[in-house]
Structure 1
Amino acid sequence: MNPAVWISSLLRRYPELVAELAPAAHGGLRERRGGGPVGGTTLPVRLHVSDALRDINDGVVELEEAVRERLGLRPVPAAPVPVRLRRIAGLLERVAADPVLAAHVEDEARRMAARCARALGDPEQMVRLAGRCPACDSVSLRAFPERAEVRCVNPPCGHVVESGGKESP
Structure 2
Amino acid sequence: MTTGLAAQHTARAARWIDILLRQFPELLEELAPGRHGATAPSRTRPGTDGGTAPVRLHVSDTIRDITDGVVELEEAVREKLGLGRPARADAPERLRRIAGLLDDVTAHPVLAGHVLDECRRMARRCGRTLGTPETLVRINGRCPWCDSVSLRALPAWRTVICVNPGCRCTDEECGCVNNPAHRHTWAETGWAQLAEESGADPREIATLVDDVHEGEAA
Same fold, TM exceeding 0.5? yes
Q: Which structure has more strand as a fraction of its residues?
A: 1
- Verify: 1:28 aligned to 2:94, yes or no: no
TM-score (norm: length of structure 2): 0.55
What CA RMSD, in Å, does the superposition of the two structures yield over aligned residues? Answer: 2.9
Question: Which structure has the bigger radius of gyration?
Answer: 2
The aligned residue for residue 213 of structure 2 is 147
Q: Note the residue ranges of structure 1 that are not aligned, 5 or more in a row.
A: 34-40, 133-140, 150-162, 165-169
The aligned residue for residue 15 of structure 2 is 5
Contact 2:71 2:94 (8 Å CA) reproduced: yes
The aligned residue for residue 78 of structure 1 is 88
The aligned residue for residue 56 of structure 1 is 66
Contact 1:111 1:146 (8 Å CA) reproduced: no
The aligned residue for residue 112 of structure 2 is 102
- Verify: 1:130 aligned to 2:188, yes or no: yes
- Residue identity opposite 1:130 in structure 2: E
* In structure 1, C-alpha distance between the alignment counterparts of 2:102 and 2:77, rounded to whole Å: 9
Indicate the SS of the match to 1:83: helix
Question: After TM superposition, where is structure 1 displaced by more than 2 Å over at least 4 residues in a row?
Answer: 124-127, 129-132, 141-149
* In structure 2, C-alpha distance between the alignment counterparts of 1:120 and 1:71, rounded to whole Å: 34
In structure 2, the CA distance between the partners of 1:48 and 1:109, relative to structure 1 (3 Å rule), is same
The alpha-carbon deviation at position 32 of structure 1 amounts to 5.0
TM-score (norm: length of structure 1): 0.69
The alpha-carbon deviation at position 124 of structure 1 amounts to 4.2
- Residue identity opposite 1:115 in structure 2: R
- Residue identity opposite 1:131 in structure 2: T
Indicate the SS of the match to 1:148: helix
Q: Deviations over 1:91-114 (max 9, x none)?
A: 000111211111100000000000
Indicate the SS of the match to 1:131: helix
What pairs with 1:42-53 in structure 2 (closer than 5 Å)? 42-53=52-63
- Residue identity opposite 2:122 in structure 1: M
- Verify: 1:111 aligned to 2:109, yes or no: no
Q: Note the residue ranges of structure 2 that are not aligned, 5 or more in a row.
A: 1-10, 42-50, 136-153, 160-186, 191-205
Contact 1:117 1:123 (8 Å CA) reproduced: yes
* In structure 2, C-alpha distance between the alignment counterparts of 1:124 and 1:49, rounded to whole Å: 18
- Residue identity opposite 2:189 in structure 1: G
The alpha-carbon deviation at position 148 of structure 1 amounts to 2.4
* In structure 2, C-alpha distance between the alignment counterparts of 1:3 and 1:21, rounded to whole Å: 27
The alpha-carbon deviation at position 143 of structure 1 amounts to 2.5
Contact 1:65 1:75 (8 Å CA) reproduced: yes
The aligned residue for residue 158 of structure 1 is none
- Residue identity opposite 2:78 in structure 1: R
